[in-house]
């Protein structure tokens, strides 16, 4: 977990192939299934208020290579107070502090959420990550 003093503490070099994006497949609306972001490609960011309570959480696919060169850096990522995830070389490589579950627990324990709506949105954001079935089980529309 890094408190960002300026945008993009993580390197802007591509580390992996283009990730899956959490979008609904609109080609056949009757059988739509979400496409999840693999944890290895997940970028997690959050913002806090003056009391350091979390007011916003977002999960994005790692598009720091080709994708962001074409579309630009997403405003959420560029302006985040804290960032974690695929921007770290050790992410998802076996250490306990480099997993989505750890990041969520760190947000919850270290900062806390400003209110229950922010907590619910955070859970829904983590539900975008393929390996976070625990979050999808907590979001009625994702179960």
**pLDDT-derived band of residue 112, with 50, 70 and 90 as boundaries?**
very high
| E strand or H helix at 65 | none
What are the CA-CA distances from residue 4 to residues 8, 79, 84, 117, 126 (Å)? 8, 9, 11, 24, 21
Q: Do 61 and 43 touch, CB atoms closer than 8 A?
A: yes
What are the CA-CA distances from residue 76 to residues 38, 56, 57, 111 (Å)? 19, 9, 9, 19
User: Which span out of 30-44, 60-74, 107-121 was modeled with the highest average pLDDT?
Assistant: 107-121
**pLDDT-derived band of residue 78, with 50, 70 and 90 as boundaries?**
confident
pLDDT of 77 higher than 90: no
The whole-angstrom separation of Cα 94 and Cα 24 is 31
- The whole-number average pLDDT for the span 2-19 is 39
């Amino acid at each position: 977990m890094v408190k960002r003093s300026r945008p993009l503490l993580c390197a802007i070099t591509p580390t992996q192939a283009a990730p899956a994006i959490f979008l609904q497949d609109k080609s056949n609306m009757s059988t739509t299934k979400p496409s999840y972001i693999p944890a290895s490609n997940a970028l997690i960011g959050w913002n806090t208020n003056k009391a350091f309570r979390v007011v916003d959480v977002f999960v994005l696919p790692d598009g720091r290579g080709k994708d962001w060169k074409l579309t630009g850096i997403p405003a959420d990522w560029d302006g985040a107070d804290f960032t974690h995830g695929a921007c770290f070389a050790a992410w998802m490589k076996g250490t306990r502090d480099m997993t989505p579950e750890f990041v969520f627990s760190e947000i919850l324990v270290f900062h806390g959420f400003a209110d229950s709506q922010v907590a619910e949105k955070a859970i829904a954001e983590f539900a975008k990550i393929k390996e976070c079935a625990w979050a999808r089980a907590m979001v009625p529309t994702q179960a």
